[in-house]
Amino acid sequence: MRISGAGLERQGVASDAGAPAISIVSAVAAVIGGSPVDATWRQRETVAFLANPASYGNGRDAVTQVATHCSIVFLVGERAYKLKRAIRFGLADYTTRALRARACRAELLLNRRTAPELYRDVCAIVRSADGTLRFDGPGEMVDTVVVMRRFAEADQFDRMADEARLRLELLRALGHLVARFHLSVPPSRGFGGAHGLRAAVEENHRELLRVADPLRAPALPVLRGRTLAALAALAPVLERRRDAGEVRRGHGDLRLANICLFQGRITLFDCLEFDETLGTVDRLYDLAFLLMDLHMRAPALAAPVWASYQQIAADSGAHPVLGLFLSVRAATRCYALAGKAMRETTPDLAERRMADARRHLAAAHCFLRRPPAWLDEPRRVGIRARQSHQKQTSLEWLIG
């Protein structure tokens, strides 16, 4: 989720500031599928309260309202107030006050592992004795919001990558940070393994079928078949990795859009909070989303992150499974991008986004056939990064 105000994105679904706050769930349902429930009309009073500057103390700060498919975010001064929509689709269910309050508490708890400075609090919106709404205090609980600090959109890593500002030193620090985060989380042997990854593969296939026509991808069963064949071959490896403690409650959505510089520090934020099964995965599958995102921009961006990750959290069993993990992540990103393109009202931009979705679909095939070259070179990349200042400068220039 973007907390900058210029536009928010989660799982490839974006919306614009000033858009109607209760109007986009049906569009998302066309992509996500199933039998979604949209009860956001019940939150109109809450939305009006949060959109009113007078609700925030002095009332002098303008309120910018930004909508995503899961939430409505109200940007006020240095704060962002995130209201979860009363919706249900896929595995996300926010249809009751209790479910939304629980999800807000989970979001705060999970994200404070990596972004304690950003995630400030969870506040209840209550109805006072006189019938008006207010934050916290006595009264009937009407809804719940997550309170966050805002940061500059220019400091998000996807924006920095677009502007060639991800330098070698920053990429190496990112790999170290993710490795330390993964090692800090206790193993969860009740999740993951071959069964967990198969569920992700099947979910990808269902969602890709929904966007097959605009993707111009009639051969999606071929990708599913190849992926399941690779999964079957690697099932014993995946099971051993789970039993060895490699499955942990990681970030779950570790893309560049969910990483920023905040107060000069690399910060991972907006982790997947609504489903424990989706968020509790092999640590390399968690990392694979980031590596895939970097690789799709330029392989030279992924190499130092992978090398530095291995320096902290060496994984000798990575080579067999990481190609499969990268493929599954690319397929997930493909259908998210396709859905975003389908909702885009500017034809040229819609086509560019759909082209990007097709590129990710092609990458999903490629990762299965031939893992990227940088996967075999963490030691060489690490050595090269420690060489003379002249060679380090040369590599920085290559990365941009």
SS3 344: coil
CA distance 50 to 48: 6
Q: How far apart are CA 255 and CA 163, in angstroms?
A: 16
Q: Is the pLDDT of residue 249 over 80?
A: yes
Enter the DSSP assignment of 236: H
The domain spans of the chain are 8-150, 157-399
Query: Lowest-confidence range among 25-34, 270-279, 285-294, 313-322?
Result: 25-34
Q: How many whole angstroms separate alpha carbon 239 and alpha carbon 234?
A: 9
For residues 307-326, average pLDDT: 92
Q: Please list the alpha-helical segments (H only) found in 68-153.
A: 97-111
- Indicate the length of the chain as a whole number: 400
**Owner of token pair 């095939």:** 365
- CA 238, 241, 243, 246 torsion: positive or negative? negative
Pairing between strand 265-268 and 259-262? antiparallel
Query: What's this model's pTM, rounded to 2 decimal places?
Result: 0.83
Q: Which of 282, 267, 1, 287 is nearest to 114 (CA)?
A: 267
**pLDDT above 70: percentage of residues in the chain:** 85
Q: Percent of the chain, pLDDT > 90?
A: 71
79 burial (CB, 10 Å; 0-12 / 13-18 / 19+) is: middle
Per the model's pLDDT, the better-predicted residue between 176 and 317 turns out to be: 176
pLDDT of residue 162 exceeding 80, the answer is yes
The helix, strand and coil proportions of the chain, stated in percent and rounded to the nearest 5, come to 55, 15, 30
Tell me the CATH number of domain 157-399, given options 1.10.10, 3.90.1200, 2.60.40, 1.10.20: 3.90.1200
Q: Is the pLDDT of residue 16 over 70?
A: no
